[in-house]
Chains A and B, each alone.
Chain A
Amino acid sequence: MAHEDDSGEEVGTPRERFRAGVRAAVPFALAGGLLSASFGVVAGQAGLPDLAAIVMSLIVFAGSAQFAAVAIIGAGGSLGAALVAAALMNSRFLAMGIALAPSLPGGPLRRALQGQAVVDASWAMALRPDGTFDRHFLFGATAPQYVAWGVGTVLGVLGRSVIGNADRFGLDAVFPAFFLALLLTEARHPDSRRVAMAGAAISLALTPFTPAGVPILAASVAALWGLRTRQPS
């Protein structure tokens, strides 16, 4: 969506689209770096060794799952409970992966590896109005976010005593603000607005009753509104 010229046509070679993705993701990478610094702080407070926190950011690279899993271990919960929480927080990637699948070429292994590039902001920005994805843009958008996520975690681990409680910097408002900005700029069509309202309502209705993460996955059901339309908007 963000990678079209004024005429709405997609432009550029794969390399150029990759670079466009990198550029579009820089603000997200900066915010993600701040958030992962707070993860570095929180992980230490929960008793995770420094190296484990850094390795976790490098090989898991899923913020909400990492925070949820570490919070449960820190509160004395079991490993199993922590992994279930991580899976539920990540369950939205299942919906995103299904949406992305037809846009990925190659065999199953190659598609599985390409699917690892899905993070919220990249996925939303790489989605074209016709329901297909620009995968080079997706890869480009994820690259700086991955680097910043790792660097931020290292800084958070090192600066734990300086940073203290990261919530007082209001960093937890950064991501919802980003997602709202994406929503307001991308979802101009009335159908999109309707579905957004329905998705928000579904997630809030389920929040008191279901494990964290489930309300977000369940909200994707609102997209079935698209079955009513004759052609992609």
Chain B
Amino acid sequence: MSTAWALVAGCAVVTFAIKAAGPIALGGRELPARFASVVALTAPALLAALVATHTLADGHRLEVGAPTAGVLVSALVLQRTRSIAWCVVSAAAVTALLRAF
């Protein structure tokens, strides 16, 4: 089996296992109310981390670049238009424009 197919199979197994771990270990039981409020807050924590690492870092280097501007503009567009579609289109367009120059 070539490296490519080993990579495909390996990634599939790793991903399946990671996504299965929580539901297998903790599924089907009632958890205390405090757990619920922690869970409700994992969304803002993880989403903010995804946004921050994608817009303010390139690899291991913290940097402000074209995607930073694109995402900032998209947030303004979202506030104005309330439209996720326009928000996303503006992010890609501003980023692409800045890269073109």
Q: Which residues of A contact B (CB under 8 A)?
A: 27, 31, 47-49, 52, 55-56, 59-62, 65-66, 69-70, 73, 79, 82-83, 86-87, 90-102, 104-106, 108, 111-116, 118, 120, 123-124, 127, 129-132, 167-187, 191-193, 195-204, 207-209, 212, 215-216, 218-227, 229, 231-233
Task: Check B74–A173 contact: CB distance below 8 A.
Answer: yes
* Candidate in B18, B33, B95 with the most chain A CB atoms within 10 angstroms: B18
Contacts of A59 in B (CB 8 A): 8, 12
| Residues of chain A lying within 8 A (CB to CB) of residue B44 | 183, 186-187, 192-193, 195-196, 199, 223
Within 8 A of A (CB), among B18-65: 18-31, 33-57, 59-62
A112 to chain B, nearest CB (A): 4
A-B contacts, 26 listed (Cβ < 8 Å): A48-B4, A56-B7, A56-B12, A73-B3, A83-B11, A87-B14, A102-B30, A104-B23, A111-B23, A127-B40, A129-B40, A169-B92, A173-B55, A176-B50, A179-B47, A180-B47, A180-B78, A192-B44, A200-B51, A209-B60, A215-B49, A223-B41, A223-B42, A226-B41, A232-B36, A233-B37
> Is the beta-carbon distance between A226 and B34 smaller than 8 angstroms?
yes
Leading 4 A-B pairs by shortest Cβ distance: A97-B22, A170-B95, A131-B36, A219-B49
Smallest Cβ-Cβ distance to B40: which chain A residue: A131
Given contacts A60-B8, A233-B37, contact A92 B99 (CB under 8 A): no
Min Cβ gap A63→B in Å is 11
Knowing A102-B31, A169-B96, the reply to whether A204 touches B57 (Cβ < 8 A) is: yes
Contact A175 B84 (CB under 8 A): no
With A177-B71, A178-B88, A231-B33 in contact, do A112 and B47 touch (Cβ < 8 Å)?
no
Tell me which of A130, A170, A233 contacts B96 (CB under 8 A).
A170
Which of these, A73, A113, A168, A219, contacts B45 with CB under 8 Å? A219
What is the predominant secondary structure among interface residues of chain B facing chain A?
Answer: helix
Q: For B66, what are the chain A residues with a Cβ–Cβ distance below 8 Å? A: 170, 173
A216 touches B22 (CB 8 A): no
Cβ of B26 to closest chain A Cβ, rounded Å: 4
Q: Which of B12, B26, B74 contacts A98 (CB 8 A)?
A: B26
Asked if A229 contacts B92 (CB within 8 A), the reply is no
Among A73, A102, A113, A181, max chain B CB count under 10 A is at A181
Q: Which residues of the partner chain A approach B51 to less than 8 Å between Cβ atoms? A: 176, 179-180, 183, 200
